Amino acid sequence: MMRKEIRIAGFGGQGIVLSGFILGQAALLDGNNAVQSQSYGPEARGGAAKSEVIISDEKIDYPRVTEADVFIAMSQEAYDKLQGDLKERSLILIDKDLVDASSKAIKGIPFTSTADKLGKKIVANVVMLGALTAMTGIVSKDSILKAIKTNVPKKAIEINMKAFEKGYKLGGG
């Protein structure tokens, strides 16, 4: 697998960093290399949050995104501010509930309302991971499910699995 660069952005509290972490861990389970980095404002909640993941079957030297293959925006601010560094054919994925984007090239999926319907808004990031997995195959479904299971509280596993499947379907899987 060639080097793939994924940027996930939103606001603090949406589980942006965690979803990047899960993605990276899934890549390791697939036998690939991965790095994950993050940045956020000083606020613990509500500020801008960004998580970058690079997946490759080779050694990853430069650990930051230069030209994202995938850009996921979970907030309007993130979408407006972080559109740079994209390839011509980058996949842009937005949370349709929170981001207003006009371009047809952009794929919108209702992460938040899907999660809300399941009873927990905070699993929107896992809905997103489901959609991303289906749309890109960047990690295997088995590995990412395993990674999700090890990173959410035991009693929340079920709802997260449901969230993933919903997202996976919305992503065309």
What residue ranges bind another protein (CB under 8 A)? 21, 24-25, 28, 33-40, 42, 60-64, 66
Least separation in angstroms between residue 3's CB and another protein is 10
For residue 54, the one-letter residue type is I
In the complex, what is the shortest distance from the CB of residue 117 to another protein, in angstroms, rounded to a whole number?
31
Distance of closest approach, residue 35 Cβ to another protein, in angstroms: 5
Separation in Å, CA 3 to CA 29, 72, 135: 16, 17, 17
CA distance 112 to 109: 9
CA 28 to each of CA 32, 38, 57, 71, 164: distance values in angstroms, whole numbers, following the listed order: 5, 18, 10, 21, 19
Q: How far is the CB of 161 from another protein (least distance, A)?
A: 21
Nearer to another protein, 94 or 138 (CB): 138
Which CB atom, from 72 or from 94, has the smaller least distance to another protein? Answer: 72
Amino acid at position 104, single letter: K
Contact at 8 Å (CB) between 159 and 38? no
Is the CB of 3 or the CB of 120 nearer to another protein? 3
- Least spacing, CB of residue 34 vs another protein, in Å: 7
Tokens 């979970």 correspond to 74
Token pair of 134 as six digits:
């289906």
How far lies 123's CA from each of 1, 71, 85, 155, 167, in Å? 29, 19, 28, 13, 10
Q: Which is nearer to another protein, 27 or 109 (CB)?
A: 27
Which residue, 42 or 153, is less far from another protein as judged by CB? Answer: 42
